[in-house]
Amino acid sequence: MACLPRDARAGLAAPPRRLPPKYFYDARGSALFEEITRLPEYYLTRTERAILERVADDLIAELTPRALVEYGSGSASKTRVLLDAMHARGLLEAYGAVEVSEAALLASARALAARYPALELEGVLADFERPLTLPFADRPRLILLLGSTVGNFAREEAIDFLERVRDLMTPADGFLIGFDLVKEPARLLSAYNDPAGVTARFNLNVLRVLNRELRGDLRPADFEHVAVYDEEAARIEMYLTAKRPVVARLRSIDLELRLDEGERILTELSHKYTPESARALVAGAGLDLVRWDTDADADFALGLARLPS
């Protein structure tokens, strides 16, 4: 599983301070993420869903998978589009999910079991950045990494992750990856700085996770949510910035945090892609990008990767 004591010590003890984004997703964080997906400014989820609705049947006809296996499944609500397409073709046998959020994993498993009573279900409560095995290797699988979660890895980590997936794939498997695409910075910035403040609550929630898990006394009111777009790196960077000098303790790891006013903690990278940078990423991991579907405005893309033939 994820190791918050180690990551907090390594990431928070000294500047440049950072925390991996997987710690956002306790029950409250997962619920806040779902709220983000419904915001008018956060076009990613609804655009990816629309692409899935358009291509699902064709994709399933092309791959004839008998199992879906999803990394970072969250509520798995878009996943149902693919499960329905498999069901309609008489192919649907099994669904597996790898999730670090127990709350999300349990809620999605319950909902899927109710909707597809004959479905074989396997939930893997694990950090997908660590070595793991994937269920249902005995049949053709469609492996999923939706939502542009690939964008939350640093570049090198993304390659490492995709290489690990490649090593788990068989020639019968397809790997569908959601990519958020480069666009006008103003639209990106408003997707990560919503006026309702949901993204701010999502970002600040990680302080509550630190307090609960590491017996901390950080005060969310001492920090503000900041999201900026780095055009050169083509990524949104999310920070928690100290509004005033902060002195706090994480007692479980015996760490005292002293931040000057304006000092920041990097909490998330969210990379945006071009068709070329997505293709290069996939190729860099030794996979072939065999299909690329976007919406009419090219806001978001689904890329299908397979083992080289």
Residues that bind ligand AVI (CB under 6 A): 36, 44, 147-149, 151-152, 192, 199, 268, 270
CB count, 10 Å around CB of 160? 13
The residue type of 101 is S
Q: Does 206 bind ligand SAH (CB under 6 A)?
A: no
- Nearest-approach distance from CB 175 to ligand AVI, in angstroms: 17
The window from 141-149, 167-175, 191-199, 238-246 that contacts ligand SAH (CB under 6 A) reads: 141-149
Count of CA atoms in the C-beta half-sphere (13 A) of 247: 0
- Nearest-approach distance from CB 208 to ligand AVI, in angstroms: 16
The pattern of x and - marking residues 89 through 128 that bind ligand SAH according to CB under 6 A reads: ---------xxxx--x----------------------xx
- Nearest-approach distance from CB 142 to ligand SAH, in angstroms: 14
| Cβ-based nearer residue to ligand SAH, 152 or 214 | 152
The pattern of x and - marking residues 50 through 89 that bind ligand SAH according to CB under 6 A reads: ----------------------xxx---x-----------
CA angle 98, 100, 106 (to 5 degrees): 75
CA distance 189 to 237: 10
Q: Which does 95 bind (CB under 5 to 8 A by kind): ligand AVI, ligand SAH, none?
A: none
Beta bridge pairs of residue 225: 240
Task: List the strands of the sheet with 300-306, edge to edge.
Answer: 120-125, 94-99, 67-71, 141-145, 174-180, 300-306, 288-294
The window from 25-33, 164-172, 186-194, 297-305 that contacts ligand SAH (CB under 6 A) reads: 25-33
CA distance 193 to 239: 12
Residue nearest to ligand SAH according to CB distances in the complex: 147
Cis peptide before 275 (omega within 30 of 0): no
